[in-house]
Amino acid sequence: MPNDKLTTVDNNKVWLFDEKQLDDYTIFPDNTLTYDDSILDKSGDGALREGGAIHLLSAEAIALFTQYAGIGLILGSLPALSYPVYNVYLQMQGYQVASYSALMSLPWSLKIFMGIVSDCFPINGYQRRSYMMIGWFICAVSCGIMALSAFPSPYYKSEEVNNLPLANISEADQAKYINLNAPNSGGVFIMLSTLATIGSVMVAVSSDAMVVQYAQREPLCERGRIQTTCYVVRDSFRQLPSIIIGFCMNSYQYGGDFSWSITPTAIYAMLVVPSVVGFATALWYMVEERVERVSLHHYFRSFWQLVKLRVMWQLCSYNFFSNVFSFFDETVSNPMTSDWVQAQALNLQLFSVIGGLMGPVTMWALGKWALHWDWRSSIVISTFIWVGMRALVQLTCVWDVSRNQYAFLTGTMLMDQPMNVPFLFSAYASVEVADVGNEGLIYALTSSVSNLGYLFGPVMYKTVDSFFHVTRDDIRRDDTIVRWQATYCFLISYIVKIGALVFLVLLPRQKGHVQLLKRRGESSGFAGGLFIVLFFLVLIYALVTNALSFFESTYCLRIAGGNGCSV
């Protein structure tokens, strides 16, 4: 029987277990764990619950994949309409467009509450499939109403007056070619789009909980396989709307130069299809055992016991802080692309889609060959590759070594692929933490913490970059001083991104290490309570920053995602 007592070292260090235990507790498929029967199922293969891994081509697996395909289509469609439809086609004010974008992201900040509902209130005995069906019903009805409704006429009805200031257009031509009511006529579509987003989040939370259940049935040697496949499906289908919107909504009404285009209602009609298919597969093919409604007291008591465990607050701390640092970018990227590289809009869209399709390919490769890689060393290597590629692409452009748009866009397409490594590995860790019955809450909590971390990076880098002379007018000067200013912004970004590696001490090395930390790590009511308080403070911050986007006087604030308000 191996020694399962944790080695005590310097209190300032995060120490998972004595390295000598690796002889008995390893992460490789040809070894099993013998020190605790609760870690293994009866087959001794390292699965966390009975049932066995499902075949990826089985009906229930395909039913699950259709849920993620539909989620990907919603994610790729509704937020992407912000610029071409609401900003250009309807010529809404900046704060109105920002409000739309905020409403498309706001429901994703509330995943934890939907996870609680899914866990605690089964409908007809089903915790997951019932809420998938409700979510798809909401999506289908919302998108169906928008598809059957007449979308408002564009602000500019004729290409002859497109983008001309009103002062330069005669009153007769204004009456004939300008729809002055356009900026205020999209309210119903914004409301229905928000409802569709809420429905898709409901589906996503329920699907994530099902993924946890399926993943925990997989043996240790292949756990993460179905989870990776779901992400591959979601992100692959997420690119389809980008192709349609980029190429079919590119006439002058949308800010493009094509002679033809489709109407926004065509996009909404397209989204009815995955909603109906998702509803049908959840109804007929999704396999789920019936459960009794749980006591809320017992549920939250169990959740509290889990939150107090070191593995929980340590993993969530890693997810949050690593994302805050990793998504510290720079404000100079966009003006550099348009003014120095002079990339054409169509090429930007094309390379963006190709890069988006490369992401699922990268994740598929990781799911096939990297399930047993050491998470820490892999993230270190991928981070340095990521930063190195960014430096090569961006700094050669800053100093005019190469400003060829095709070389630059190819570089930008490739340079962010290494970030799929930390994304997948942190998601794998979340599966190891969840218990039976609280899968929806735990996975929603860990993913919400990660999402909240994304909010702070932009606030930080916009604040830092405001002290440098890298405005669009500065970039257009393109002198040595401006190039050095841009270089400083990029160097700060690279240093902060590498600084994210400091938090790797909070991430266990592999799935087995997470299980050992969960079972042998200490429990702290203070740490658990502090984590809950800080989580809700950050959540309130996210809600407030989204709310600031709704008002004309505050949407420009950096805290709300703007570039700063002029005094």
State residue 217's pLDDT score: 93
State residue 562's pLDDT score: 61
Question: Which residues does 192 contact at the CB level (< 8 Å), separation at least 6?
Answer: 142, 143, 145, 146
State residue 19's pLDDT score: 42
Cα-only R_g, the chain: 25
pLDDT (average), residues 226-245: 94
Q: Residue 531: in which H helix or E strand, if any?
A: helix 525-548
* Residue 295 pLDDT exceeds 70: yes
Region of residue 373 (phi > 0: left; psi between -120 and 50: alpha; otherwise: beta): beta
Higher pLDDT, 13 or 414: 414
Higher pLDDT, 16 or 536: 536
* pLDDT level of residue 4 (50, 70, 90 thresholds): very low
pLDDT (average), residues 210-214: 94
Task: Name residue 522's amino acid.
Answer: E
Q: 258 — phi, psi (to 5°)?
A: -75, 155
State residue 44's pLDDT score: 60
State residue 558's pLDDT score: 65
Which segment of 69-78, 228-237, 384-393, 527-536 scores lowest on mean pLDDT? 527-536
State residue 559's pLDDT score: 67
**3-class DSSP assignment, residue 126:** strand
Q: How far is CA 186 from the centre of its chain?
A: 26
State residue 7's pLDDT score: 34
* Residue 212 pLDDT exceeds 90: yes
* Residue 565 pLDDT exceeds 80: no
* Residue 32 pLDDT exceeds 50: no
Token duo for residue 142: 């919302």
* Residue 279 pLDDT exceeds 80: yes
* Residue 560 pLDDT exceeds 90: no
Which segment of 90-99, 200-209, 311-320 scores lowest on mean pLDDT? 90-99
Percent of the chain at pLDDT exceeding 70: 90
* Residue 354 pLDDT exceeds 80: yes
State residue 552's pLDDT score: 67
Other CB atoms within a 10 A radius of the CB of residue 30 amount to 6
What is the four-CA torsion angle of 65, 70, 73, 79, rounded to 10 degrees? -120
* Residue 22 pLDDT exceeds 60: no
State residue 87's pLDDT score: 87
State residue 159's pLDDT score: 79
Q: Which of 412, 452, 426 is nearest to 539 (CA)?
A: 452
* Residue 25 pLDDT exceeds 80: no
* Residue written as token pair 């929980």: 312
* Residue 165 pLDDT exceeds 50: yes
* Residue 158 pLDDT exceeds 90: no
Q: What is the pLDDT of residues 428-442, one digit of tens each?
A: 999 999 888 889 999
* DSSP-derived secondary structure letter, 30: T
* Residue 426 pLDDT exceeds 90: yes
Is residue 327 within 8 Å of 454, Cβ to Cβ? Answer: yes
Is residue 389 within 8 Å of 411, Cβ to Cβ? Answer: yes
Which segment of 273-282, 339-348, 493-502 scores lowest on mean pLDDT? 339-348
Token duo for residue 465: 């970059």
Cα angle 192, 194, 195 (rounded to 5 degrees) comes to 65
* pLDDT level of residue 100 (50, 70, 90 thresholds): confident
State residue 30's pLDDT score: 37
Q: What is the pLDDT of residues 179-195, one digit of tens each?
A: 888 888 888 999 999 99
What gap in Å lies between CA 112 and CA 535, rounded to an integer?
11
Tell me the pTM.
Answer: 0.87
Percent of the chain at pLDDT exceeding 90: 53
* Residue 233 pLDDT exceeds 90: yes
Which segment of 28-42, 215-229, 364-378 scores lowest on mean pLDDT? 28-42
* Residue 300 pLDDT exceeds 80: yes
Class level of CATH domain 53-292: mainly alpha
Number of H helices, E strands in the chain: 20, 0
* pLDDT level of residue 199 (50, 70, 90 thresholds): very high
Q: State the average pLDDT for the chain.
A: 86
* Residue 566 pLDDT exceeds 70: no
State residue 197's pLDDT score: 96
Q: Which of 97, 93, 85, 101 is nearest to 254 (CA)?
A: 85
Higher pLDDT, 459 or 449: 449
